[in-house]
Amino acid sequence: MGADETARSAHPEGIRCMLLRGGTSKGAFFLASDVPADPEERDDLMLRLLGSPDPRQIDGLGGGHPLTSKAAIVSVSEDRDADLDYLFLQVGVDRATVGAAQTCGNLLAAVGPFAVERGLLPAGVDGMTTARIRLRNTGGVATATFATPAGISDYDGDVAIDGVPGTAGAIELRLGAGAGPVLPTGLAAQELAGRRVTLVDNGMPVVLVDAASLGVSGDEDPGALEADARLCAAVEEIRREAGPLFGLGDVREQTVPKVVLLSPPRHGGTISTQAFIPFRVHASIGVLMAASVAAGIRIPGAVGHDLARLPAGPEHDIEHPAGVLRTRVDVSRGDDGAWRASSRSMRTARKIFDGIVFPRPRR
């Protein structure tokens, strides 16, 4: 039996899986020990579990949208500076792709509670648990703090986040200043594909573009932006030119960098955003995308700096199609002239089901 046949016939008994909402995303969570270590076999399995490629993902767990076609693989970390390792996988919906170049700050909110559920992490003795999480996609380390009364993950609470109905328990996410600069090219602004842009990375590689420079106002419905073939072609041209400048190489089959269209705030926030992720427009905005936007617009000369209503303090209300995401971002310039930043955001998460999932036998 060949390697492909072996991969396709494996797991007839199913695989242990927990489906969780993290922030404004939803994903399938797995223990690293329950999925293949080989990336090619692992990616093939994820496609068959989520039902890709198919616009409806009717034969799998996926929900027919990039925000619900995600997977997280979690394990105890061997890094002494972290408790957990978290590998994020962005599974294509109508394309047979599995991206591991980016992380996901929304699903990050659910990593700690999942780890407590699976016994990877002991609950804190005071009803609160703090988890240091190594982001295997990017190498960064985030800290999550969440409630664990009676030693179990508690998803109940009164915190509401725009883009999610109802309320849930608070989960604080902190990401310290990385080793790399916020501006990967060292430039506050530059020209790509004939447009003035800013390349920024405060946890997520993002290209900031003034929406008006692309002929849109920035307050359109996401579906209308996706249907604008001229706009999508221009956004993708910018994204592909930006990829090598982030050190990502050819990004045609990758989900990073993201391109974020900026416009003046309309609802009392700091800035208004429309985020291409990359072939669909985000229904809200990712946590780390928001942190990158907030860091970028604080830098004089960057795209969005003059559009924003910048606060005196570090709290930024990033407007998006579903409302507002508040993120605390501290930005400073070092003696070497490089800008660096750290961020803190409040998210929620919820366990949806825990059980056994069965992969499609072949694709």
Asked if the structure places residue 176 within a domain, the reply is no
Asked if 247 and 311 sit in the same domain, the reply is yes
Domain of 279, in residue numbers = 190-343
Residue 177 lies in a domain: no
- Same domain as 239, residue 325: yes
Rounded mean pLDDT, 74-93: 97
Q: Quick check: 1 pLDDT over 90? A: no
Residue 257 preceded by cis peptide, ω within 30:
yes
Asked, for residue 185, whether it belongs to a domain, the answer is no
pLDDT at residue 208 in the model: 98
Same domain, 23 and 107: yes
Beta-bridge mates of residue 350 = 21
Q: Is there a single domain that holds both residue 218 and residue 319?
A: yes
Q: Quote the pLDDT of residue 87.
A: 98
Mean pLDDT of 270-294: 97
Residues 149 and 203 in one domain: no
Confirm whether 32 is domain-assigned.
yes
- pLDDT beyond 90 at 14: yes
Question: Are residues 120 and 223 both part of a single domain?
Answer: no
The two beta strands, 15-22 and 349-357, are antiparallel
Examine the domain organization and report whether 11 and 157 are in the same domain.
Answer: yes
21 & 74 share domain? yes
Q: Are residues 166 and 197 in the same domain?
A: no
Question: What pLDDT is attached to residue 180?
Answer: 73
Mean confidence (pLDDT) of the chain: 95
Q: Is 175 inside a domain boundary? A: no
d(CA 182, CA 299): 10
pLDDT at residue 34, rounded to an integer? 97
Per-residue pLDDT, averaged over 37-50, amounts to 97
Q: What span, in angstroms and rounded, lies between the C-alpha atoms of 100 and 103?
A: 7
pLDDT digits (tens, 9 = 90+) for 297-345: 999 999 999 999 999 999 999 999 999 999 999 999 988 889 999 999 9
Q: Is residue 180 part of a domain?
A: no
What percentage of the chain has pLDDT greater than the value 90?
93
- The mean pLDDT of 231-259, rounded to a whole number, is 97
Check: CB of residue 348 under 8 Å from CB of residue 23: yes
Q: How confident is the model at residue 10 (pLDDT cuts 50, 70, 90)?
A: low
199 and 322 in a single domain? The answer is yes
Residue 36 has pLDDT above 70, yes or no: yes
**Looking at the predicted structure, is the pLDDT value of residue 222 above 70?**
yes
Q: Is residue 141 part of a domain?
A: yes
Residues 215 and 259 in one domain: yes
CATH number of the domain within which 13 lies: 3.10.310.10
Lowest mean pLDDT among 185-194, 331-340, 352-361: 331-340
Specify the number of domains making up the chain: 2
Quick: pLDDT tens for 129-165: 999 999 999 999 999 999 999 999 999 999 999 999 9
Query: Could you tell me if 126 and 211 lie in one domain?
Result: no
In a domain, 92, yes or no: yes
